[in-house]
Amino acid sequence: MREHLVHIDGERRPSASGRTLEATDPYTGEVLGTIPDCDAADVADAIAAARAAFDGGWRTTPGIERARLLHVLADAIDAHAEEIGAIETRDNGKLLTETVGQARFAARNYRFFAGYADKLYGRTIPLDRPGMLDYTLREPVGVAALITAWNSPMQLLANKLAPALAAGCTVVVKPSEHASLSTLRLAELVDEVGFPPGVVNVVTGAAECGRALSGSTAVDTVSFTGSVGTGAAIAQTCAANHVPVTLELGGKSPNIVFEDADVDRALAGALAGIFSAGGQTCIAGSRILVQDSVHDELVERLARRASRIRLGDPRDPGTQMGPVANEPQRDRILGAIEAGRSSGARDLSAEQPAADLPDKGLFVRPTVFADVDNSSPLAREEIFGPVASVIRFRDEAEAIALANDSEFGLASGIWTTDLSRAHRVAARLVAGTVWVNTYRASAAQAPFGGVRRSGHGRERGEEALDEYLRVKNVMVDLSADYHDSFEETGAGDE
């Protein structure tokens, strides 16, 4: 059993208190090792190291050098993708094919933002006053606190770390205590490829560690991915501290199947939308809205296919769904399923053949509910598990109304062969992402984020840089003569 260490100022060390937490394999129940359970003292050390690195040179490091380091880091992640994927699969139970793929996608993110590191241009602004030069500078905000969730640690961190480093920020990273191991391995790679000490720091631990980091007045911005409740608490604290915050929170995303859709393709998209990653993804298409004329066919086929999904070892290429990531999450999912059965919705999940699964494996079988009322908890609350809620609709207007009748607004899907309808509906959906005839597609170039309770701010794409940059205006009087005038110099004061 390995004792893992946190990464502060280029050094690996235990927590100041000596406390640790166990990292457990959700497939076997085996204890993989321990991680430090950091507290406010460790967080303060990490923030101080990040501040010293920022002021000591990283903020003025030429963009071309930051780009070089990001490219080298991307190469290292690609070279170690199989290893990183294996670490993450054992830590959170996600399929190995997906964790390896996410490691490679993370590398793509670092390469994408490396291209921006030396292109953070300001602009000149023509004024209505002769003899004045006005221009802007885009500068790094400073020390960024990056807090990630347990479902996709490497990918979620890349969404934050890549633009932060490209912008010239230094960072303190806090992964979920339920899945920290791949992030700690990344910290080792950061050190190996030559980032200066203190530029990237990683602390691990439970709620005390997270509160100390997100609540610190010594950080300049916070980026959080996780639950709505925790995000709301962080936002409240950041508001009191006057610290900007980016929130990527939950979703209850509608996946809309119109009667003119390619039903085979829509079925595959609906299955992938909710059962990939065991439904433990914020973009899960957990509300499947189906038009009357194709409703019965699609529901019957969806339930039949869901019942044949192969549960098992996430490292086995034949496994289609692994365990959920941790015991508290397994219990929440099972509770939501039981509540759904009591709500009047039809549970269409067939009993699956007995599988040779470990007794301590945290498995939840794919579940399909039909006749779901859009006002019920099944349709309103994020379950974050393999639970599909099918909702019937009559026409386009009702589909849009049902889709938008939610407190969330992260993602959505449209399945139709009518190009005009696709664009028309996409324009009216309240969501940060709209997929048409696909689902869960990602690209480093495409901005991602939500509205409503799904959060605010954007990750990936050029827009992500704005979360780590601030604009400074510089105004220069180039005129030969200077006139002392209170009226003139005071004009425009706020």
Q: Which residues pair with 370 in a beta bridge?
A: 346
Distances (CA, A) of 15 to 24, 44, 176, 190, 222: 19, 12, 16, 20, 22
Crossing angle between the packed helical segments 81-92 and 181-192, to the nearest 10 degrees: 160
Number of DSSP helices (H) and strands (E) in the chain, helices first: 15, 20
Catalytic member of 248, 382, 459, 467 = 248
Catalytic residue among 98, 209, 282, 467: 282
> What DSSP letter does each residue of 291-355 carry, written as one string?
EHHHHHHHHHHHHHHHHTPPB--TTSTT-SB---S-HHHHHHHHHHHHHHHHTT-EE-PPPPPP-
DSSP state for residue 277 in the 8-state scheme: G
Told to judge if 169 belongs to the known catalytic residues of this protein, a careful annotator would answer: no
Burial environment of residue 293 by CB neighbours within 10 A (0 to 12, 13 to 18, 19 or more):
exposed
Helix, strand, coil percentages, rounded to 5, for the chain: 40, 20, 40
The reply to whether 248 belongs to the active site is yes
**To which H or E segment does residue 234 belong?**
helix 228-241
Contacts of 211 (CB under 8 A, 6+ apart): 237
Give me the residues paired with residue 3 across strands.
34
> Beta partners for 24?
31
C-alpha torsion 435→438→443→448, nearest 10: 30
Q: Are strands 11-13 and 6-8 parallel, antiparallel or unpaired?
A: antiparallel
First to last CA, the chain: 61
Quick check: 93 and 385 in contact, CB under 8 A?
Answer: no
Closest Cα to residue 286, out of 410, 382, 363, 206? 382
Helix (H, G, I), strand (E, B) or coil at 38: coil
Closest CA to 120 of 135, 140, 150, 142: 140
Six-digit token string for 54: 């920022």
Hey, which residues are catalytic here? 248, 282
